[in-house]
Amino acid sequence: MAFRHGILISPDQIRVLTDDRTQFQINQDQQLFIQGQWITLSPENTALLSQYSQGMRKFVPQVVAIAVDSVELGLSAIEGMLIGVGNETQQEEWQALVRETTYQLMSRFVRSGEHFYLAPQSLNEMDAFLHGELKDNLTALAKNTVGAVWGALRDALRQTDDNFERSESQDWQSVEQLISKINLGLDAKAEELEEKSALFCQRLRELDEIETELQQQVPKLKDYDVVIAK
């Protein structure tokens, strides 16, 4: 099961987007706008629209939460290693790298208060994101930033104590411990997704059925098939 369009959910609205442009919008779970035009609905159609909207509100935030929590878990572990280490310029460089990595990883998932965004994708793609893309990116970030931290710390201590030595194996052992911690957390999130996947798929099938019925009653919606089976 998959989403063909992006979905933006707020307390008052659900917006379905293609290339960041709103295709149709549901207000207060009852009003439908297609390409900015208000669509008059019968009481029966309004009830069906409300059912469809509420289904989206239950499902999308859960999917987004799993992804966002996974990224925050990995990045918070890295940031914890960076606090107070290195000079001000190095701190700014490391923080900028963490922010840029966060932006790149989270372009498909956004959570801000009661607002949620899910980019077009399938549940399988999200599983691949957690198992592969996210883990690889956070591992690379951990090696680059934390490795730089150890290098800066070693250089600083050597300037004050000529006898200070730290072998490369000792440096990288700490980095590997951090990566192990990140991976364990990501594996737990991936397992959570796997455990919920059957329920998620069932909900998506139900949403797909409601969507199909809604499209039959409101033909203009047929151009915007959001929930699909892959």
4 DSSP assignment: S
Tokens of 132: 């592969």
Q: How far is it, in rounded angstroms, from Cα 190 to Cα 71?
A: 12
Q: What is the number of other CB atoms lying within 10 angstroms of the CB of residue 192?
A: 16
Boundaries of every domain in the chain: 2-228
CA distance 210 to 205: 9
CA nearest neighbour of 3 among 17, 20, 23: 17
Over residues 67-124, the pLDDT tens digits come to 888 888 888 877 777 766 667 777 777 778 888 878 877 888 999 999 999 999 888 8
Give me the phi and psi of 112, to 5 degrees please.
-140, 100
Tokens of residue 193, six digits: 């997704």
One digit per residue, the tens of pLDDT, for the chain of length 230 reads 889 999 999 999 999 999 889 999 999 999 999 999 999 999 999 999 999 999 999 989 988 988 888 888 888 877 777 766 667 777 777 778 888 878 877 888 999 999 999 999 888 888 888 888 888 888 888 877 777 666 666 665 565 555 445 444 444 456 777 788 888 888 888 888 888 888 888 888 999 999 999 999 999 999 999 998 87
**Whole-number pLDDT of residue 136:** 86
Q: Which residues pair with 225 in a beta bridge?
A: none
Q: Residue 26's closest CA among 59, 51, 62, 1?
A: 51
Residue 27, classed as helix, strand or coil, is strand
Contact 23, 29 (CB under 8 A): no
H or E element, residue 153: helix 134-160
CB of 205 closer than 8 Å to CB of 197: no
Cβ neighbors of 121 (< 8 A, separation 6 or more) are 2, 3, 108, 129
DSSP-assigned states of every residue in 167-222: -HHHHHHHHHHHHHHHHHHHHHHHHHHHHHHHHHHHHHHHHHHHHHHHHHHSGGGG
DSSP 106: G
- Report residue 206 as tokens: 């139900």
